[in-house]
Amino acid sequence: MSTPVTTSTPAPARTAIPAHQRGLGGRLLAAVLTPGGAVFVLAAVLLVATIQANPNFGDPGVIMLFLGRTAPIAIAAIGQYYVIVSGEFDLSMGAVIGTQVVLAGNMIGEDPDKVVPVTVLMLLVGAAVGFANGVLTTLLKVPSFIVTLGMMLALGGLVSYLTGGAATGNPVDEFREIGRGRFENVPVLEFLPYPLIILVVLAIAATLLMRRPFGRNLLAVGDNPESAERSGTSVWWLKTRAFMISSLAASVSGILLVGYAGVHPSVGDGYEFTAITAVVLGGVLLGGGRGWVLSAAAGAIALELLFTLLTVKEVESTWRDTVQGVIIIVAVAVAARGWQAGRRPRGSARRAPSTRIPTTPTPGTTNGDN
């Protein structure tokens, strides 16, 4: 970028980055054309299709109930986004949720005074699991899906040990209220479930975080870890924080699910795959470096809408897994291509040549050092 701007056309004082060169409409259109933007359209289409299939789904109360129960999945997807965008995986999410659910059931029990300390403990456990995942992945160089798969099995075993595989009693209603409660008499919406509010707050926080240096660096690490490292980024700490965010998101999901559903060791089963599917459906590039955090949340909502549509259409629920499998494959394929097509203006001539690092070695400069 050392070339000074000396174009003859009356150009703006500062050249906008390619994505900002078009007007607002053009930028919106361009965004929608990327996989990360298309998922919002997909969600809207699925909502319309579901309402068309059964008008009862258009009732605000029903939509609120739906969003309330989708919030834990969307929150898990937001957490998973951080890990995936940094080029890793977190398969331990479901097990973390299961652990938190069982912890809540066993430790809070019928004592309202324990709600706060146990919640704090649960979040600490979540952070610790994420820290372990991150350190094992980055410092011990074990591939993340092995680390988190191992974590999933280890936590699953712990839950089996603690429960014998069966439900323990539900914790006090005060704690369950977090995931089950709602503000009544809200105009237009009828009511507002707490989980939805928590989702909105976390989504805003996640968006802001992605605009901070942490978020930018995380994308850079996911895109090209080597160059990020050479530019002075502490890769291990970045990724470890991503894993911690993921486990904390799973913990929040777990807290909400205890309220929504109740305590059972099977709560959280398969959440890691649902979250990964949602993230991928949100157009986030598996392997890292591309994708928007809100698209991951939208991917979760679109996925659940799709399942609801299948239910409304009386499709056997046994097809659910198959649908999810197909979505993962198709979405990965589309996302990998889509980002290249939608993001960059056509024609390689517009690309700034200086972003290419010359690959030809300069001969003779390193001779004789020893």
Point out which residues bind other proteins (CB under 8 A).
54, 56-57, 59, 61-62, 65, 69, 87, 89, 91, 143, 145, 149, 164-170, 180, 223, 257, 260-264, 266-267, 269, 273, 276, 280, 285-290, 308, 311-312, 317, 321, 325, 328-329, 332, 335-337, 339-340
Q: Taking the complex as a whole, how short is the minimal distance between the CB of residue 15 and other proteins, in angstroms?
A: 23
Q: Cβ closer to other proteins: 84 or 203?
A: 84
Q: Say if residues 177 and 259 touch (Cβ distance below 8 Å).
A: yes
Q: Taking the complex as a whole, how short is the minimal distance between the CB of residue 265 and other proteins, in angstroms?
A: 8
Tell me how far apart the alpha carbons of residues 222 and 88 are, in angstroms, rounded to a whole number. 8
Q: Cβ closer to other proteins: 127 or 154?
A: 154
Tell me how far apart the alpha carbons of residues 103 and 30 are, in angstroms, rounded to a whole number. 46
Q: Cβ closer to other proteins: 22 or 344?
A: 344
Amino acid letter, 121 = L
Q: How far, in Å, are 7, 135, 219, 220, 224 from residue 230 at the CA level?
A: 33, 20, 15, 11, 10
Q: Taking the complex as a whole, how short is the minimal distance between the CB of residue 17 and other proteins, in angstroms?
A: 19
Residue 366: partners with Cβ closer than 8 Å, 6 or more residues away: none
Q: Taking the complex as a whole, how short is the minimal distance between the CB of residue 213 and other proteins, in angstroms?
A: 22
Rg (CA), the chain: 23
Q: Cβ closer to other proteins: 229 or 269?
A: 269
Q: Report the half-sphere exposure of 299 (CA within 13 A, side-chain side).
A: 35
Q: Cβ closer to other proteins: 26 or 112?
A: 112
Place of tokens 């919030």: 71
Q: Cβ closer to other proteins: 2 or 322?
A: 322
Amino acid letter, 267 = V
Q: Taking the complex as a whole, how short is the minimal distance between the CB of residue 61 and other proteins, in angstroms?
A: 8
Q: Taking the complex as a whole, how short is the minimal distance between the CB of residue 117 and other proteins, in angstroms?
A: 22
Q: Say if residues 293 and 210 touch (Cβ distance below 8 Å).
A: yes
Q: Say if residues 80 and 252 touch (Cβ distance below 8 Å).
A: no
